[in-house]
Structure 1
Amino acid sequence: MPTAIIADDEDLPRTELRRMLADVWPELQILAECEYGTEALEAIQQHQPDIAFLDIRMPGLSGLDVAEAIKGNCHAVFVTAYDNHALEAFTAAAMDYLLKPLSRQRLQETVSRLQGRLATDQPTMDVAKLMRELDSRLRSAAAVERIRWISASVGDTIKMFPVEKILFFVSDEKYTRVVSSDDEAHVRKPLRELMAGLDPDQFWQIHRSVVVRADAIVKAYRDDAGKVTVELRGSKERLRVSLAYAWRFRPM
């Protein structure tokens, strides 16, 4: 019996996809439904499904991040609301994708391809090419006004951090720790909200709770267990890289 997980941060699209899959592929067993990319990654590692239906935009890890992290473990189908221009990258990379709102005919075509791959035991596709082609397009689509300063209250003092001097951010429950080369403080805004105003070319997420300044990275270390940590210029701390973001530090 073929198996799958569904990952989408909105309830209605998850429910609709499950309903439509039950109609066009009743033999397919849905093992888990996930709201966040990190949940999807954990569900894939736990259940080892044949297929993962992944929304592109999810809090924390995107569908692309999840697919890169689980490369080779299951077939990925991307669910997206991007326009046709962005979707050219999916076609160029020969990746399966479903465009929102979902079409029964389009879903049936995708299911037929998946059934063929599973029947002939075809290898899963490499998402790296897609990530390279989509990267600039997705960033442009998500462009917003960038944060220039971050202010933090410390007692009766307000500390001002220019973004260009910040080395990294660490989520700390309801707060976010902001660290520069010579100071640090906590702000009341969660990391996810801060990320929306940060330039993704300048700040890389390397863990669900850590974002670092890319040009401050000096070295990345991989231990015997394959776990990666990074060293930043101006900081004595080593920051852990989660499995989902380890692809950023693979040799060229």
Structure 2
Amino acid sequence: MAERKLRALLVDDEPLANAELQRLLGAHHDVLEIVGVCEDATAAREAIDRLLPDVIFLDIALPDESGIALMASLDPAPTVVFVTAFNEHAVQAFELSAEDYLLKPVNALRLEQAVARLLASGDRSTPEPRDLRRPLRLHERIFLHDTNARLWLIAVGEIKLLEVAGEGTRVVFGRGTANSPRSLRAIEQRLPEHAFIRANRTQIIALSHVREVHPWFVGRLKVTIDGGIEVFVSRRQARAFTNELSL
């Protein structure tokens, strides 16, 4: 049985850039089919749900939301190839498991290499979306980066606290602080069961790093974790928190 073509969605707010990418991808029409073109993240979300593309060629500078934020919010996400004029987002892109990162103006040979990577990445006769929901294990190591663009490779068990920071998440661990472009909710879905618990709407704490727990006002709790960091557990979460720590 013949392999089906990859279904591609193009997302870029510059019509000329979309047109040029379509022209270049036309050289690969035997293995790739363009099923849609969008100019912002809102339209892209709708198109992803409706068209179920195998791959998104995604710009970073979109008018309503960054391409990084769009990819981070898709769970599970289709395969993504970033196509952008900015090279400083490459670390974030590969942290999110982007398949490739192309700089504008796109070179035909470089695009050919990206398409080859796409074809080699899986069996197109039985495609499934990339599953980013697999629970992590405490010993697994993950990449993070800080505001000075320094990369950290840490074990999940080193994490003490996660909290909302803009469109992403701030991660506090034993050796410092770093950031993830993923939302707190997306990260929460991948944390090891019974090892982390949501303290409130904006923070998640690691139970193994809890040192003190005190009753607080209006049914809340004040929790101190390693490093003397104080976190307030909401009244709604207080019972779940004490149940996790009880015999």
Normalization by structure 2: what TM-score? 0.50
If each structure's helix is expressed as a fraction of its own residues, which one has the higher value?
A: 1
Tell me which structure has the larger Cα radius of gyration.
Answer: 2
